[in-house]
Amino acid sequence: MYAERMGMLPPYLFARIDALKAKKIQGGVDVIDLGVGDPDLPTPAHVVEELCRAARDPAYHHYPSYAGMPDYRAAVAGWYRRRFGVELNPSTQVLALMGSKDGIAHVPEAFVNPGDYVLAPSPGYPVYRTSTLFAEGRVYEMPLAAENHFIPVLEDIPKKVAGAAKILFLNYPNNPTSAVTVPGFFESAVEFAREHGIIIIHDNAYSEISYDGYRAPSFLETEGAMEVAIEMHSLSKTYNMTGWRVGMAVGNEEILSGLGRVKTNVDSGVFDAVQMAAISALTGPDDCVQEACRIYQERRDVLVEGLRGLGFSVEAPRATFYVWMPVEDCMSFATRMLDEAGIVVTPGIGFGSGGDGYVRFALTRSTDRIRVALERMEAIGL
């Protein structure tokens, strides 16, 4: 009954985790979910208030613009100017998205022909791979190894693969490894893209979740990046708006035009009232973002110290709200955590073959719950 391409798709990792968690909860288990990266912090009050106001206005009850409201695109451009020093033309270099996943899922359809390669990090966000498969492209997994600071070695990509590649996905700060970029890497990526005629899609959804004074850059700050790249961003993690489904793609006009043409044929844009709320987030005070980072950093410190106390080797991340920890067998570890301790963690293999031997913890539960999770781990001998 299903199309053949459906057989190529693995079950979506987080949907499987949700099903296993639900089964435990139905059985009466007090589950501590440190798996899926969905912030437990509320959306800032001024953003919620603007949504309520806009939702009552009949002017916003009609089909929205495919590309996004002019005021929303201007707010995005203003935010990029203030935050990164990147100048964008709101009319041609900003596209509204229903979250960054929306753009990542659709961009290969605009540029990938059957058999073309897409270069995807492994481990990496699963949608890089599934979007490629929907476009009937071939995925080349770029290993992210600890000895290389979880940065792909572009020189190791076979010339034949690079010559047949259309898209290179990058993501720093990185999900799931929480790695940040290293000096010179973005510059080398631009040169690699120029050499091989490749489009770069930089997923920058975690740029605002950082610690210890670190400030993540935009890929578009890199000289020449605007010629070869677009950047996906989202309000989901920055403003605790995962359920609101609003984000942006910015950068090269031609690439955005291709993505926009796909989207005009598959959706009708972002609800205007949500865009109005997003404007209030992007133009409003950022103390809510700073407070979220303070909370995540406190949770990070409790979790990392606790895991080290249990004998695990784990680095304290400088960005994202994930802790990436090496284990002997990620599936066995995750299964035991859920079955014996009622704790959900994400097995690294779900992010690609490069994630085998790791698990990901999400800092999306309170410090009290994290401490309980550590106590349970100690109780079962982990």
Q: 290-308: per-residue pLDDT in tens?
A: 999 999 999 999 999 999 9
- pLDDT for residue 11: 67
- What percentage of the chain has pLDDT greater than the value 70? 99
Rounded Cα–Cα distance for residues 214 and 209 (Å): 9
Whether omega for the bond prior to residue 126 falls within 30 degrees of 0, making it cis, is no
Q: How confident is the model at residue 189 (pLDDT cuts 50, 70, 90)?
A: very high
Q: How many CB atoms lie within 10 A of CB 109?
A: 20
On the question of pLDDT at 8 being above 80, the answer is no
Rounded Cα–Cα distance for residues 151 and 172 (Å): 9
**Is 97 in a helix, a strand, or coil?**
strand
In CATH terms, 4-42+287-379 corresponds, of 1.10.645.10, 3.30.70.2740, 3.40.50.1860, 3.90.1150.10, to 3.90.1150.10
Q: What is the pLDDT of residues 230-283, one digit of tens each?
A: 999 999 999 999 999 999 999 999 999 999 999 999 999 999 999 999 999 999
Paired tokens of 200: 């770069």
Task: Kindly tell me the sign of the dihedral angle through the C-alpha atoms of 305, 311, 315, 319.
Answer: negative
SS (H, E, C) 181-223: CCCCHHHHHHHHHHHHCCEEEEECCCCCCECCCCCCCCHHHCC
Rounded Cα–Cα distance for residues 166 and 107 (Å): 11
What is the signed CA dihedral for 339, 343, 348, 352, rounded to 10 degrees?
A: 80
CATH 3.30.360.10 fits 45-283, yes or no: no
The pTM assigned to this predicted structure is: 0.95
**Residue 234 neighbours by CB under 8 Å, 6+ apart:** 97, 99, 100, 101, 205, 246, 247, 248
State how far the alpha carbon of 193 is from the alpha carbons of 93, 106, 138, 167, in Å: 19, 20, 18, 9
- pLDDT for residue 25: 87
Q: Which amino acid is at 98?
A: M
- pLDDT for residue 12: 64
The secondary structure element, H or E, covering residue 282 is helix 272-283
The stretch 309-322 carries a mean pLDDT of 97
Rounded Cα–Cα distance for residues 20 and 336 (Å): 13
> Which regions of the chain carry the CATH code 3.90.1150.10?
4-42+287-379
State how far the alpha carbon of 148 is from the alpha carbons of 180, 248, 252, 355, in Å: 12, 30, 29, 14
> Which regions of the chain carry the CATH code 3.40.640.10?
45-283
- pLDDT for residue 138: 96
Paired tokens of 241: 């708006």
Paired tokens of 272: 């205007």
**61-94 burial string, b = 16+ CB within 10 Å, else e?**
eeebebbbbeebbbbbbebbeebbebebebeebb
Mean per-residue pLDDT of the chain:
95
Q: What is the pLDDT of residues 27-83, one digit of tens each?
A: 888 999 999 889 999 999 999 999 999 999 999 999 999 999 999 999 999 999 999
